[in-house]
């Protein structure tokens, strides 16, 4: 029969191994690549829309009112 301390150490090793494996799976998942591609596509779309910042909009609104 195992001692309580040995059982605790075994549980900690298993938990640590699981944490490492989950971390590896997340790092190697295609999710990061998909996110990077979606961000690039959105940035391209925003650039094509010729958007302006709120400050630029307010300034132009003031200029056209005066």
**What confidence tens digit (pLDDT) does each residue in 13-57 have?**
899 888 888 888 877 778 878 888 999 999 998 888 888 889 999
Q: Domain map of the chain by residue range?
A: 4-65
CA distance 21 to 12: 14
Q: Phi, psi at residue 54, to the nearest 5°?
A: -60, -40
State if pTM tops 0.75: no
- Provide the 8-state DSSP code for 4: H
Question: Of 47, 46, 50, 66, nearest to 58 (Cα)?
Answer: 66
């Amino acid at each position: 029969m195992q001692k309580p301390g040995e059982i605790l150490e075994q549980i900690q090793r298993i938990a640590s191994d699981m944490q490492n494996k989950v971390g590896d799976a997340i790092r190697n998942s295609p999710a990061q690549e998909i996110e990077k591609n979606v961000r690039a596509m959105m940035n391209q779309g925003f650039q094509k829309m010729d958007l302006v910042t709120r400050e630029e909009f307010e300034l132009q609104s003031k200029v056209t009112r005066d």
